[in-house]
Structure 1
Amino acid sequence: MKKLALAAALSVVATGAIAGGYVAPTVVEPVVVVEDTSSSAGGILVPAIAVLLLVLALHHS
């Protein structure tokens, strides 16, 4: 009787693993992120302010 119960339990476990059948994997489309470029004036602003402060510092000494 124990062997019959064990065989029944194992058959339930074994059939549960393949119960759903084959499912094709879903294809995920890549996300494209478009980022706006900054203007070229942003790259000259900090050095221009630094030169202005240097000129003012030399002028006042």
Structure 2
Amino acid sequence: MKEIISPMLALALTASAAFAGGPVVVEEEPVVEAAAPRSGWIVPVVVGLVVLCAIACGNDDDATTGTTGTTTPG
């Protein structure tokens, strides 16, 4: 009886280990590309306008030379 059970048990253990996990199926995922933005020019134009405004407006504090308006006694 032991002579029959040992080979059958070894075959059962080997066969189950060989098919463990099942078949491996590899699927390629589709490539998803983003659509080109239609308003891609808006941000550079707005940034350019802000820079031009900052240059044109400039600094209006040319009259101040560091004096605080104190009078000297005398």
Distance 2:56 2:24 in 1: 69
Larger Rg: 2
Unaligned runs of 5+ in 1: none
Corresponding residue of 2:25: 25
Among the aligned pairs, what percent are the same residue?
Answer: 16
1:34 equivalent in alignment to 2:51: no
The runs of 5 or more residues in structure 2 that have no matched partner are 62-74
Structure with greater helix share of residues: 1
Aligned-CA RMSD value: 3.2
User: Kindly tell me: are residues 27 and 56 of structure 1, through their superposed partners in 2, closer, same or farther at Cα, counting changes over 3 Å?
Assistant: same
TM-score (norm 1): 0.51
In structure 2, the residue matched to 1:50 is 51
Separation (CA, whole Å) in 2 of partners of 1:10 and 1:44: 76
Write the distance in 2 (CA, Å) between the matches of 1:15 and 1:41: 66
Amino acid at match of 2:10: L
SS of match in other structure, 1:32 = coil
Q: Where does structure 1 differ by over 3 angstroms across 4 or more consecutive aligned residues? A: 3-9
